[in-house]
Amino acid sequence: MLVTGASRGIGAAIARRAARAGYAVVVNYSEDSAGAERVLQDIHDDGGTALAARADISVPAAVGSLFDAAARLGEVTAVVNNAGITGNLIGNLVDMPAENVSRVMDVNVGGTIFMCQEAVRRMGTQAGGRGGAIINISSTATKAGSPGTWAHYAASKGAVDVLTTGLAAEVAQHGIRVNAVAPGSTNTGLHAAAGMPDRVARLNPTIPMGRGAEPEEVAAAVLWLLSDEAAYITGAILPVSGGR
């Protein structure tokens, strides 16, 4: 399994859980090498197999090199497109700098597309692959649009939802299932990095279940969609949001 943005948060939880499920895991990261090494060590301590690979997924050539690195562990049969950014700026869309908006779109939309393209080229039965599954990490921010905070981020995740639907139909005959998991408010460092360390707690009263998700709960949904129990599911967008 190849997991992008796996050095922390939801990606790290997915990588650890995947290793416990028996996958050899590629822990992708862009900048946080120390975090990736911690995840790698956790997996090795549990007796799992993994390697860390640095790549900026918004660069197509880097995506190809990432899959080449993954081949050291064997044939890739699962790809989790978790890497995503908010740009770490908060405010109304009209005030967002153009370079911030462009970078969010480059990573969240372009990077996910490039990863999906390479996954299909390598895994699809039309290309001699064994088939497999792709999970895109979306967000329930697509429902309300994150006004006043991250409307551009919500828009990028809306694109991920549409990509999931379209690609699932394109590659169903090639032995590849494509689904998305859409976390709601989740206890990760994402909010603190943007200067809102208490954001999850502030949103708790708006969540029917009264709390934010833990990364491990999102990871559990991802691994279920990758499992044989979900063999007839493709094109789905599964919310993990406590009912919000």
Q: How far apart are CA 231 and CA 228, in angstroms?
A: 5
Question: Given this model, what pLDDT does residue 186 score?
Answer: 86
Indicate if 232 belongs to the active site.
no
pTM: 0.94
- Which residue do the tokens 């690979």 mark? 53
Please report, in tens digits, the pLDDT of each residue of the chain (244 residues total).
Answer: 999 999 999 999 999 999 999 999 999 999 999 999 999 999 999 999 999 999 999 999 999 999 999 999 999 999 999 999 999 899 999 999 999 999 999 999 999 999 999 999 999 999 999 999 999 999 999 999 999 999 999 999 999 999 999 999 999 999 999 999 999 988 887 766 666 677 777 888 888 889 988 999 999 999 999 999 999 999 999 999 998 8
- Which residue do the tokens 């372009």 mark? 110
Question: Given this model, what pLDDT does residue 124 score?
Answer: 97
Domains and CATH numbers, the chain: 2-240 (3.40.50.720)
Question: Given this model, what pLDDT does residue 198 score?
Answer: 76
**Choice among 23, 29, 153, 232 that is catalytic:** 153
Whole-Å CA distances, 24 to 73, 87, 180: 7, 31, 21
Contact in structure between 206 and 3 (CB atoms under 8 Å): no
Question: Given this model, what pLDDT does residue 185 score?
Answer: 86
Question: Given this model, what pLDDT does residue 200 score?
Answer: 75
Whole-Å CA distances, 168 to 116, 132, 165, 238: 11, 12, 5, 14
Write out the two tokens for 145.
Answer: 């649009």
